[in-house]
Structure 1
């Protein structure tokens, strides 16, 4: 069942029109920043607006947020080499861009990326086997939450019904409270905000989501963005920015930290091994 969902959803995205023709930042007048569709596009623009304003103030550059509707479109654009200068995304996507497009990690969340499967106490007491055949909600494939949830259920005939219609990670928790699902896979920082739900399982820890830059971005611009992110906590507005993103600070990111993370994408339609 789970494999069928993955293939069908990704195949739909593969049939959509491809990314627009590449255009240099000088022609656009701004640098394009891609972020994962953890929020609907309009909400994402509000969430990331303070961060973009901070970067513009610190670097003297202009930034434009690229926010797509869902993870299927995000995966399509990533595979289609969409016109992106910077990206802020989880480890599997960061490594994918590194291997194929030469992106360079600049800074990452200080906290690792961990996803937690949460349920009510009575459901959690039954463990993973108690979720087989029942509704479990996650953001769509190939988000890191969906990918790590799939790894918890390796038997193709003993799986939950994966529901991926949530628009945000927090929506998954609300679906549990409303009775539309019995469990939700969410980032750890969100799980910590709901003590009335109980952990059923958790993913392994991945390096924190990273800010990476295209090799086409001039070195001085890359360095100015990196420096700005690393000193973000010195800005008076940083608390609101960091709290919304579920992190305490940005720290330096190294390519070796992400090496191999993209392999979790191998289960999804359209994946090809790096050269």
Structure 2
């Protein structure tokens, strides 16, 4: 929701997060849209990466926008469910959930698509993904989208695989190579680039998902929606976003289509508090 930035800033300051006043706060009673993103970086790094773009969007739109980084996913998801964030940059499953539950609309996204693959050792006798029930599987920690898309294949919560959380795609491969698990959940593009010797594909669905996306609350009017979209796709906007785009190994944003997120929010159903109202 739109609210006083200083009230949120004060609570964040109490958490000892070093955020500077470079975000350009004008007055204590000024209302701001709150921008946040998935906590894949420290709060300090998040502010460093996103401040140039957020300040630019504030300037061209005439609407104050303030960055509010989350320290971890617990804080991030709690704030999200409570509608604390107005503009958010994160994965398509969160975007789909916000569209259904909070009335968000997608603005732009990173180019490309996300597809999951499940890989097993070449010697594995497992031929059906359902046979991984009760078996150890190397994956990223939930609510990572790849992990949630994998778990969607197991609708009985007592017959799910045992997920071994690791960090980084190299970590997934090393986890499986070390014999710690029966399978690993990867992204298709990493499977295609890696040395596949000793591994084979178990599961490679056709379904793809849109890349990381910026969405916005329905509390803003269409004019502001259009201003922000245009700014994000402009050359100047891309220049301001250069640091974060480099982080995600992309050169630009592309326009987002609402249809691409249809049903994607259901991936979060296993996470407490994210069950969609049906």
Note whether the superposition's TM-score is higher than 0.5.
yes
Instruction: Tell whether the 8 Å contact from 2:101 to 2:276 is kept in structure 1 after alignment.
Output: no
Deviation digits for residues 157-181 of structure 1 (CA, Å, limit 9, x no counterpart): 76432123x3555543343344443
CA shift, 1:88, in A, is 1.4
2:3 is equivalent to residue 23 of structure 1 = yes
Q: Provide TM-score, normalisation by structure 2.
A: 0.69
Shift of residue 255, structure 1, vs aligned partner: 2.3
User: 5+ unaligned residues in a row in structure 1: which ranges?
Assistant: 1-20
Query: Would you say the 8 A contact 1:117–1:201 is kept in 2?
Result: yes
Tell me what 1:3 maps to: none
Residue equivalent to 2:52: 53
Contact 2:135/2:182 (8 A) holds in 1:
yes
1:99 matched residue in structure 2: 100
Structure 2: gaps (5+ residues): 10-24, 26-31
- What corresponds to 2:218 in structure 1? 215
Query: What SS does the corresponding residue of 1:145 show, helix, strand or coil?
Result: helix
Q: Deviations over 1:61-85 (max 9, x none)?
A: 6542523423x5443333232x212
Q: Is the 8 A contact 1:106 1:253 kept in 2?
A: yes
Match of 1:77 in 2: 79
Number of the residue aligned with 1:181: 181
Query: Contact 1:232–1:249 at 8 Å: present in 2 too?
Result: no
Contact map agreement 1:109 1:208 (CA 8 A) in 2: yes
Does 2:128 align with 1:138?
no
Question: 1:172 aligns to what SS in structure 2?
Answer: helix
- Which residue does the alignment assign to 2:36? 34
Contact 1:111 1:248 in 2 (8 A): no
Distance 1:235 1:143, change over 3 A: closer
- Establish whether residue 257 from structure 1 lines up as the match of residue 260 from structure 2: yes
Cα distance, 1:237 vs. partner?
8.2
- 1:181-201 alpha-carbon deviations (Å, 9 max, x no partner): 343223334444423354332
CA distance in 2, matches of 1:202, 1:49: 37
Cα gap change, 1:227/1:270 in structure 2, threshold over 3 Å: closer, same or farther?
Answer: same
Query: 1:172 — aligned with what?
Result: 172
Query: Residues 99-248 of structure 1 correspond to what in structure 2 (within 5 A)?
Result: 99-123=100-124, 126=127, 128=129, 131-154=132-155, 159-164=160-165, 166-168=166-168, 171-196=171-196, 198-203=200-205, 204-217=207-220, 222-231=225-234, 235=238, 241-247=244-250
Deviation at 1:55? 4.4
Higher Rg: 2
Moved more, 118-127 or 243-252: 118-127
**What secondary structure, in the 3-state scheme, does the structure 2 residue paired with 1:53 have?**
helix
CA RMSD of aligned residues (A): 3.8
Please, which moves more after superposition, 93-102 or 265-274? 265-274
CA contact (8 A) 1:34 1:87 kept: yes
Q: CA deviation at 1:120?
A: 3.8
Per-residue Cα deviation, 1:64-119 (whole angstroms, up to 9, x for no partner): 2523423x5443333232x2121112222112212222212101222122222234
